Amino acid sequence: MNEFLTRNPHADEIPLLKSLWSSVFGNIGIDAFFSLFFKPELCAVVELGGSLAAMGYLIPSGDIKTVTDGTEKEPSLKCAMIYSVGTLAKYRGLGLGTVIVNDLIDLAGDLGYDAVVLCPSEDGLFEYYKNRTKLHEYFYISETVFTKPPACTPSVLPTEISIDEYLAVREEFPVEFVHIRQTVQLFKYQLALCNELGGGFFRIGESFAVIERQSNEVVWVKELLMSGKGITGYYNNFSGNNFQETLIPIATMFPADEYLVRTPAKAEAGRRFGMLNLCGNVTEIPAKNDISPWYGMAFD
């Protein structure tokens, strides 16, 4: 393999970074991301043959709230997210993405973060990163796919709410389990994605959801926080009243052929969703054994 250089980008290389992003991920969210998050010192690139071959970003993502027996344990853990690790097609297979991820893990520790997280874009990447980095699988979700629900008149329709309103109620729901308390900036980014694709933040009766239209045929409910009987409200797989009170109102406002819905899961009972590395002197995250840590939105 030709010799490569790993470095931070220069501020005047933003057009090159955007071009790389567009080649790997397309153009959705590109302007919002660079407006909200880009700092050269939080980005790592690989230069190969005089060109930018790969990139990745470290995003301040909030803090991980820890719990013991249902009671929040302070202090929480300052957390960063590795995001948009991408390699140009002609340079794939050289391990450049792994180089980027390991550099960003080290950078997070150098900057004083207690934890760094990553949401792999494909299931096979869990084993890949586990074998080549300090990351290990940690976050699980319940991810359920529904086809078009039966036509009926819902008792309530989704009502769009602001980011501030959503964040105010969001922290009332996951008090019983470890979760990332994501920043306002991340939710601004999600809103920008929704503005491009269709969707937003909604209240549905006493439940709350982040909804994003992927295409004319598929709608993602990227985070659904349901009211109900404590934490057990998340584990009913939308049977009975939960189905009627959440999916049908969403389907009424967002007609589609398929709905992907993400909610918290019992410990390791859902699908693996995110990876974690603890930095510095942090060795464990206190948590209840029966509830899986909640990553939140992955901005995928």
Tens-of-pLDDT digits for all 300 residues of the chain?
568 899 999 989 999 999 999 999 999 999 999 999 999 999 999 999 889 999 999 999 999 988 765 555 566 899 999 999 999 999 999 999 999 999 999 999 999 999 999 999 899 999 999 999 999 999 998 888 888 776 777 888 899 999 999 998 888 877 678 899 999 999 999 999 999 999 999 999 888 999 999 977 899 999 988 765 444 444 444 444 555 678 889 999 999 999 999 988 777 677 899 999 999 888 888 776 677 889 999 998
| Residue 268 included in any domain | no
How far CA 167 is from CA of 44, 117, 181, in Å, comes to 30, 21, 9
| Residue 283 included in any domain | no
Long-range CB contacts (< 8 A, 24+ apart) of 224-230? Answer: 224/261, 224/262, 224/263, 225/169, 225/170, 225/173, 225/174, 225/263, 226/263, 230/176
Tokens 């995003």 sit on residue:
59
| Residue 269 included in any domain | no
In degrees and rounded to multiples of 5, residue 195 shows phi and psi of -65, -30
**What is the β-pairing status of strands 179-181 and 199-204?**
unpaired
Same-domain pairing of 134 and 12: yes
Same-domain pairing of 119 and 146: no
Of the candidates 154, 151, 163, the one whose C-alpha atom is nearest the C-alpha of residue 194 is 163
- What is the domain-level CATH number for residue 108? 3.40.630.30
CB atoms within 10 A of CB 66: 20
pLDDT number for residue 61? 96
Q: For residue 42, what are the domain limits?
A: 4-138+274-278
pLDDT number for residue 235? 47
- What is the domain-level CATH number for residue 156? 3.40.630
| Residue 258 included in any domain | yes
pLDDT number for residue 143? 87
Same-domain pairing of 107 and 59: yes
| Residue 70 included in any domain | yes
pLDDT number for residue 148? 76
Same-domain pairing of 162 and 41: no
Same-domain pairing of 131 and 145: no
pLDDT number for residue 233? 47
Going by C-beta distance under 8 Å and a sequence separation of 6 or more, which residues neighbour residue 214? 197, 220
Same-domain pairing of 180 and 223: yes
- Structural domains counted in the chain: 2
| Residue 293 included in any domain | no
Same-domain pairing of 131 and 8: yes
In degrees and rounded to multiples of 5, residue 149 shows phi and psi of -70, 165
Same-domain pairing of 130 and 151: no
Same-domain pairing of 69 and 11: yes
Query: What is d(CA 286, CA 276) in angstroms, rounded to the nearest whole number?
Result: 14
Of the candidates 49, 137, 56, the one whose C-alpha atom is nearest the C-alpha of residue 96 is 56
Query: What is d(CA 223, CA 211) in angstroms, rounded to the nearest whole number?
Result: 8
Query: What is d(CA 52, CA 36) in angstroms, rounded to the nearest whole number?
Result: 22
Going by C-beta distance under 8 Å and a sequence separation of 6 or more, which residues neighbour residue 134? 102, 105, 277
Same-domain pairing of 79 and 13: yes
Same-domain pairing of 177 and 129: no
Same-domain pairing of 128 and 196: no
| Residue 285 included in any domain | no
| Residue 297 included in any domain | no
